[in-house]
Structure 1
């Protein structure tokens, strides 16, 4: 727990997110910092939860089935029992009209995705400790807004709109800072990968006489292969085919074992203290045959603790497994 962002005991937050993975990550982050979290998978379900639950804050995605984040916020702000609950919407802010829709839905704050964990926690702590003043926010005003040559007429509460626009500006500054940090970090990671691959290539003559196959896998969808030793030929794959990106590491895992391997990898994403893991599972050879492998993987992270790639070896243990 980060003491700087620690919650007051008993502070409750409603997270509205249709992606189970994203909901789990956000729930874990908030609970780790002392908040009590309830999760709803859609705007409609969130309103059902709010019939008997009054959180200190609502954090919601925008794009969801049945009822999106804007519609949910509008419903919350239109209910006298709920309208004082601050609403944060998580958005990519890729469409300027999102700001207009947010004003109409009386959203309190925007946070951009992917969010910086410290920035999110600081905003949550700030909003909960100093809720938006509502006493003067009773009357709506009609406003005409010119955005990119298009005129929008919206009905807004001025005080709330000011807070939303301020948070949008704050997020723009944060995005710019993150972009500069990301560029510097990406250069560092690319250099680290270059050095890793160079060292592995230098050791390739040693690796090739070893039964173990060396891999460097990117922490991206499907786990694209950055490096693989030439002795991957024992599994009927050419290293060039794997490095081309046409075949990703996820593709060679046996379909019945993919969920368990994904579960292990997701654990490494959540547990920043996890530096390595090992697991035995089945893979498919280039000819579709099944082999058992012992995977010993080291987790590589950037300076913020985010996983960037996986480096390790797999060893064919089919004969041992067959003897069991």
Structure 2
């Protein structure tokens, strides 16, 4: 069953490029989209229109994504509205604030379109969430040298775990690509270092200092041996025959 039909999604993103890209992905999937540039504008829109889902960036002016999410989740009118935060989760504080805000799910940045759409459809179809209802529990965690007491349900923690895994996987792929690129670059450098530039006219050789040197000087520097001048047999014959 396609869940995009008649579904209204609010995008909260201060970057025009990021917001436009996200809107394009969702509209191509059949969703109706409205955009807000920050949390305060998003709250104003929530009072005027009905939305089925909110997708918000974290770092924004006036009101960030964490504060917006927490405001939605503590409001009786909107608390059942699914909120997805788009975040890098690169610091321990990001993870803690994400849990404390009450976000329903997390999309790693940079995100993949298929993963984003999968999360959106799952929320709108009611596939994400804990059917047991009252599953919030309090627990203590040690992170970044500090101890935090958090309240979260199983679904929220699972979604955070999935997002963290996606980010780790993406980072691993990026590192693997960087390693391959580095190996290729080293191979190209080694190949270039094996090429000796010689002027086709004066026969001077370009040294590591970027200057052009007589062949004799270059050989003496590289071999630590003196150069003597003479004629090879072929050249000697040519001279004698002229």
TM band (smaller chain): 0.5 to 0.7
Which residue number in structure 2 is paired with residue 24 of structure 1?
20
For 2:68 and 2:34, locate their aligned partners in 1 and report how far apart those are by CA, in whole Å: 16
SS in 1 for 2:81: coil
Pick the aligned partner of 1:96 from 75, 92, 97.
Answer: 92
CA distance in 1, matches of 2:130, 2:168: 29
Once residues 122 and 57 of structure 2 are traced to their aligned partners in structure 1, the CA distance between those partners, rounded to angstroms, is 20
- Partner in structure 2 of residue 110 of structure 1: 106
Is 2:167 the partner of 1:170?
no
1:68 to 57, 64, 67: 64
- Offset of 1:167 from its aligned partner? 1.7
Cα shift at 1:54: 2.3
Q: State whether structure 2 residue 53 is matched by structure 1 residue 53.
A: no
Which of 73, 76, 79 matches 1:77?
73
Alignment CA distance shift 1:15-1:171 (3 Å): same
- 1:10 paired to 2:6: yes
Cα 1:98/1:80, change in 2 over 3 Å: same
Q: Structure 1 CA distance, aligned partners of 2:5 and 2:25?
A: 16
Q: Which has the higher contact order (CA 8 A, sep 6+)?
A: 2
Partner of 1:136: 133
Give ranges in structure 2 of 5+ residues lacking alignment: 189-242
Residue range with higher mean Cα deviation, 172-181 or 60-69? 172-181
| Count of residue pairs brought into register by the alignment | 185
Q: Is the 8 A contact 2:130 2:155 kept in 1?
A: no
Secondary structure at 1:51's aligned position in 2? helix
User: What whole-Å deviation, never above 9, does each CA across 1:72-126 have from its counterpart, x for those lacking one?
Assistant: 0111011111000111101111111222112221111111111011111111111
Q: For residues 190-229 of structure 1, what are the alpha-carbon distances to aligned partners after superposition, in whole Å with 9 as ceiling and x for unaligned?
A: 97xx99xxxxxxxxxxxxxxxxxxxxxxxxxxxxxxxxxx
Q: Which residue matches 1:205?
A: none
Match of 2:147 among 142, 146, 151: 151
Q: Which has the higher strand share?
A: 1
User: Hey, what's the Cα distance between the residues in 1 that align with 2:164 and 2:50?
Assistant: 31
Q: Distance in 2 between matches of 1:64 and 1:40?
A: 11
Please give the TM-score of this superposition, normalised by the length of structure 1. Answer: 0.51
Contact 1:17 1:41 (8 Å CA) reproduced: yes
Q: Highest CA radius of gyration, 1 or 2?
A: 2
CA shift at 1:127, angstroms? 1.5
1:86·1:132 contact (CA, 8 Å) conserved in 2? no
Q: 1:151 to 1:180 in 2, by over 3 A?
A: closer
The TM-score normalised by the length of structure 2 is 0.67
What are the residue-to-residue correspondences of 1:309-320 with 2, within 5 Å?
none
State the secondary structure of the residue aligned to 2:48. coil
